[in-house]
Amino acid sequence: MRRGAIWFVLLSLLVVAVIELRAWFDRHPQDLPWTRLDLHDPVGRFTAAKLAALGSSPAQCRSLLSAAGSPDRPAPSRTAGTECGYEDGIRLGLGRAREAGFSPAGLVTSCPVASALLLWDERVIQPAALHHFGVAVIAIQHAGSFSCRRLYGRNAGPWSEHATADAVDILGFRLADGRTVSVLRDWRGSAEEQAFLRRVRGGACRLFTTVLSPDYNAAHRDHLHLDTANRGPAGWRACR
Ligand SMILES: [Zn+2]
Each residue's pLDDT, cut to its tens digit, for the chain (240 residues) gives 688 999 999 999 999 999 999 998 888 889 998 899 999 999 999 999 999 999 999 999 999 999 999 989 999 999 998 899 999 999 998 877 788 999 999 999 999 999 999 999 999 999 999 999 999 999 999 999 999 999 988 999 999 999 999 999 999 999 999 999 999 999 999 999 999 999 999 999 999 999 999 999 999 999 999 999 998 888 889 999
Q: Which residue type does 165 have?
A: A
Pairing of strands 101-103, 137-142: parallel
Q: How far, in Å, from the CA of 168 to the mean position of ligand 1?
A: 6
Q: How far, in Å, from the CA of 21 to the mean position of ligand 1?
A: 40
pTM comes to 0.92
Q: Which residue type does 123 have?
A: R
CA distances from 10 to 17, 22, 23 (A): 11, 19, 20
Q: How far, in Å, from the CA of 213 to the mean position of ligand 1?
A: 10
Q: How far, in Å, from the CA of 204 to the mean position of ligand 1?
A: 14
Yes or no: say if 225 and 169 are a contact pair by the CB < 8 Å rule.
Answer: yes
